[in-house]
Amino acid sequence: MKRLRWAVLLAAGIVAGAACVADNREPWMTLEIDGHEYQGLLISYCWRSFAAGVCGDGIIREPPMNVVRTATPAVVHARTRAGVRDLTLAVSPSLSALRPARVDPTMAGPLVLEEGTHYVAVGAWWDRGDGLFLFGLRIERP
């Protein structure tokens, strides 16, 4: 009977520990254009829960360049975790010219991009953490 009780306690501890680790998943973001999702790079982040926290810091580097062919300007929507409380955005034709500006997340609409190469940097802050994401988009006419 004692062995069964210890086995149950051990299993409960493993499940509780796994829940804490699962709760610390990295923040995520994709850009959606015409129903297609495009991945970028997660450059840096911090995320915490009641029991633990995790951070990762990287350097700005060339993101994968996603090619979007559209006859009209591309309407870009960000998809991410719910509850963004603070947001910065920068769009530039080169990595070296990115200058993030604060955006009100409650008023933020879709981003409209004309033909050309665009680097999009998005900084997002949630109650439990933050993340900096970098995307490369090349908008081309069909």
Q: 80-120 pLDDT, tens per residue? A: 999 999 999 999 999 999 998 999 988 888 999 999 999 99
Quote the pTM value.
0.80
Question: Residue 124: left if φ>0, alpha if ψ -120 to 50, beta else—which one?
Answer: beta
Q: What is the structure's pLDDT at 80?
A: 93
Task: Name the token pair of 19.
Answer: 């829940």
User: Cα–Cα distance between 142 and 131 in angstroms, integer?
Assistant: 34
Predicted confidence band at 12 (pLDDT cuts at 50, 70, 90)?
Answer: very low
Task: Name the token pair of 139.
Answer: 């908008």
Predicted confidence band at 17 (pLDDT cuts at 50, 70, 90)?
Answer: very low
What average pLDDT does range 36-40 have in this prediction?
A: 94
More confident residue, 15 or 100: 100
134 contact partners, CB below 8 Å, separation of at least 6: 40, 41, 43, 60, 61, 63, 119, 120, 121, 122
